[in-house]
């Protein structure tokens, strides 16, 4: 499982993020506070507080996690 943080500061970022998650063969979750949503759901992402970075959990192998992280590399930020 790979865990990292992303900052989604525009609608285009959310669209690109969901598109990348949808192409990922494994499950991808996004956590904001106590809320956990499916990263492949645009409505789920928009239900979160996007004013600060959100945690991404890629529930697959290390290679899948690194591949997904690479596909959204421009959104990745350091964790808290």
Maximal C-alpha separation, the chain: 30
Q: What is the CATH number of the domain that holds 63?
A: 3.30.1340.10
| Ordered per-residue pLDDT tens for the chain, 80 residues | 999 999 999 999 999 999 999 999 999 999 999 999 999 999 999 999 999 999 999 999 999 999 999 999 999 999 87
For the entire predicted model, the pTM comes to 0.93
The closest alpha carbon to 48, from 2, 3, 7, belongs to 7
**Total domains in the fold of the chain:** 1
Which pLDDT score is estimated for 79? 82
Which pLDDT score is estimated for 31? 97
């Amino acid at each position: 499982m790979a865990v990292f943080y992303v900052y989604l500061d525009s609608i285009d970022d959310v669209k690109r993020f969901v598109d990348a998650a949808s192409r990922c063969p494994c499950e991808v979750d996004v956590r904001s506070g106590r809320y956990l949503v499916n990263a492949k759901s645009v409505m789920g992402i928009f239900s979160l507080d996007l004013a600060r970075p959100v945690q991404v959990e890629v529930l697959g192998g290390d290679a899948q996690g690194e591949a997904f992280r690479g596909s959204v590399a421009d959104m990745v930020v350091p964790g808290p």
